[in-house]
A and B are shown apart, each in its own frame.
Chain A
Amino acid sequence: ETGVTQSPTHLIKTRGQQVTLRCSSQSGHNTVSWYQQALGQGPQFIFQYYREEENGRGNFPPRFSGLQFPNYSSELNVNALELDDSALYLCASSLTGREGYTFGSGTRLTVV
């Protein structure tokens, strides 16, 4: 059974650019959620997808958007990058969203 995998592991982007982060959910999991973790803080919920539909969103602006594909993998897109977007981005998957979540290793994004 494969776990949650994320790519890339590290990324450096320039302010104003756009970025796409990818996540493959654990086998059999149809719920994927994304979190942003700033240095020294706990992860903050961005949004969640269940069977290709967004079913929850945290307090993040619309320039944070996402997709979930038929195989339940997911993308997080961030437009017009700002310096404060520098963080660790974590993807998590769950069987239905009401049991335990399994996290990937994250993508560390640096915006310069």
Chain B
Amino acid sequence: GIQVEQSPPDLILQEGANSTLRCNFSDSVNNLQWFHQNPWGQLINLFYIPSGTKQNGRLSATTVATERYSLLYISSSQTTDSGVYFCAVQGGSQGNLIFGKGTKLSVKP
């Protein structure tokens, strides 16, 4: 099956700093989503981005499908950005999401 690798596994930032999270996947995918998991466990959808670039406020994402990777950019980080960021891809016949292990982000005041 498709393998999803996220890096770095952990990231500590000072408030106001910028960061880049990476997601590599091992095969062609039909869908790619970035999620933020809040402290209560809910997965908040950030981007649905099988290819191209999207921006939403301080967050943006780029997926280069031909090279099998996606990047999530967080600018001017805030303490509320803390949590775990997951990349998930969808491919093959079943269509379920396959998740990476996540990047745990801690933003310090």
Q: Which residues of A contact B (CB under 8 A)?
A: 33, 35, 37, 41-45, 48, 55-58, 88, 90, 92, 97-106, 108
A103, B30: Cβ atoms closer than 8 Å: no
- Residues of B in contact (CB 8 Å), total 24
Given contacts A105-B40, A105-B42, contact A100 B31 (CB under 8 A): yes
B96 contacts partner chain A, Cβ-Cβ < 8 Å: yes
Tell me which residues across on chain B come within 8 A of A45, comparing CB atoms.
94, 96-98
- B 62-81 binary contact with A (CB < 8 Å = 1; else 0): 00000000000000000000
Nearest-CB distance from A96 to chain B (Å)?
Answer: 9
Complexed CA–CA distance, A45 and B30 (Å): 17
Residue from the list A33, A90, A102, A103 in contact with B96, Cβ < 8 A: A33
Apart from the given pairs A101-B45, A101-B97, 19 other A-B contacts in the complex at a CB distance below 8 Å: A41-B101, A42-B88, A42-B102, A43-B43, A43-B97, A45-B96, A48-B94, A88-B41, A92-B43, A92-B97, A98-B31, A98-B95, A99-B48, A100-B31, A101-B33, A103-B35, A103-B45, A105-B40, A105-B41
B42, A106: Cβ atoms closer than 8 Å: yes
Complexed CA–CA distance, A92 and B35 (Å): 12
Complexed CA–CA distance, A48 and B93 (Å): 12
